[in-house]
């Protein structure tokens, strides 16, 4: 769990001494809550606090209570004295050496924190899957996001910010049935964004040219249309893999494109049968692979 104060530099520039007092109060509150939820404070640097937990439910409960108590404290302060924090929570393996914690799990949590709104929390899909039926939360689905220096895109969710005492807030309460509600997925705009990525547009253009080649330049036995179908399958697979977070989706669409070879060629039944068989094998491999 990474907690960081929003607009810390601006606050320091406005009133350095008062800001230091506010940050010390923030650190004290966060450290106390981390320990209350059986976590461990790994580091405090400047305006941030890095906590590690054995339980993802405890980590998320702690994050919600931090924002709730901070909102209550802000309600009693003037506009220039309010401390609003962003929190990122991720579930992953870490390496512990000499009381320090390293690894992708730490790096991802650090990348999530700036994506939260002031007073809010940003969580990874790994966290969401674990807490969706245990904590009462309202979350916004952000889709797949590429994070700096992280190899693969990660599906993210954002918990609504706590802005003031008395308003609707995430409540960390144990539940026996699914309690998490997803709002504002905005699927269509994100899908369009994925489809107009340069790599996808280039592949789609090549596929369109090859598919139309018998009518334009090359009245052959289906070699170019088959190539176009395969390229189109790769383009569609890239979009599908990005949307789902599963690289195996690329194999599924590639298999379908190969199987379509029987439709694009006028070769022998044996050759067409081999296209169909090869396509089914490739698609089956994609379906059978675990999510990566």
Nearest to 152 by CA among 286, 56, 246: 246
Report CA-CA distances (Å) from 127 to 33, 118, 151.
19, 20, 19
pLDDT along the chain (292 residues), means of 10: 80 73 86 91 83 92 92 81 88 78 85 90 93 85 87 88 49 39 47 67 79 68 77 79 64 81 74 82 74 44
Domain spanning 2-185: CATH 3.40.50.960: no
Domain with CATH 3.30.70.1230 in the chain: 2-185
pLDDT score for 182: 47
Nearest to 140 by CA among 190, 209, 69, 79: 190
Phi-psi region of 131 (alpha: psi -120 to 50; beta: other; left: phi over 0): alpha
pLDDT score for 75: 85
pLDDT score for 145: 87
Q: What is the DSSP letter of 282?
A: H
Dig out the tokens for 4 from the structure.
Answer: 């960081």
Assess contact for 62 and 53: CB atoms under 8 A.
yes
Cβ atoms within 10 Å of 54's Cβ, excluding its own: 9
pLDDT score for 98: 64
pLDDT in tens, 60-73: 999 999 999 988 88
Global confidence as pTM? 0.56
- Per the DSSP assignment, residues forming a β-bridge with 183 are 140
Residue bearing tokens 């401390």: 83
């Amino acid at each position: 769990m990474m907690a960081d104060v929003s607009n810390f530099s601006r606050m320091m520039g406005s009133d350095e001494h008062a800001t230091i007092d506010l940050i010390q109060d923030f650190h004290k509150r966060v450290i106390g809550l981390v320990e209350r939820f059986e976590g461990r404070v790994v580091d405090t640097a400047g305006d941030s606090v890095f906590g590690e937990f054995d339980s993802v439910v405890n980590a998320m409960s702690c994050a919600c209570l931090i924002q709730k108590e901070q909102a209550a404290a802000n309600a009693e302060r003037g506009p220039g004295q309010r401390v609003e924090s962003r929190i990122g929570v991720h579930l992953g393996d870490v390496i512990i050496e000499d009381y320090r914690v390293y690894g992708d799990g730490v790096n991802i949590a650090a990348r999530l924190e700036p994506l939260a709104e002031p007073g809010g929390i940003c969580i990874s899909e790994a966290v969401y899957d674990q807490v969706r039926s245990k904590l009462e939360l309202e979350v916004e689905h952000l889709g797949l996001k590429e994070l700096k220096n992280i190899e693969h895109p990660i599906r993210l969710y954002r918990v609504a910010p706590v802005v003031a005492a008395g308003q609707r807030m995430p409540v960390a309460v144990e539940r026996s049935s699914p309690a998490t509600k997803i709002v504002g997925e905005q699927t269509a705009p994100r899908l369009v964004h994925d489809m107009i990525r340069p790599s996808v547009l280039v592949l789609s253009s090549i596929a369109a040219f090859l598919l139309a080649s018998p009518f334009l330049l090359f009245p052959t036995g289906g070699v170019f249309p088959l190539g176009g179908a395969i390229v189109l399958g790769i383009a569609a697979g890239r979009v599908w893999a990005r949307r789902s977070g599963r690289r195996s989706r690329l194999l599924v669409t590639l298999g379908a494109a190969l199987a379509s070879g029987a439709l694009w060629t006028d070769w022998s039944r044996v050759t067409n049968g081999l296209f169909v068989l090869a396509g089914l094998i490739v698609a089956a491999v994609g379906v059978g692979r675990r999510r990566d």
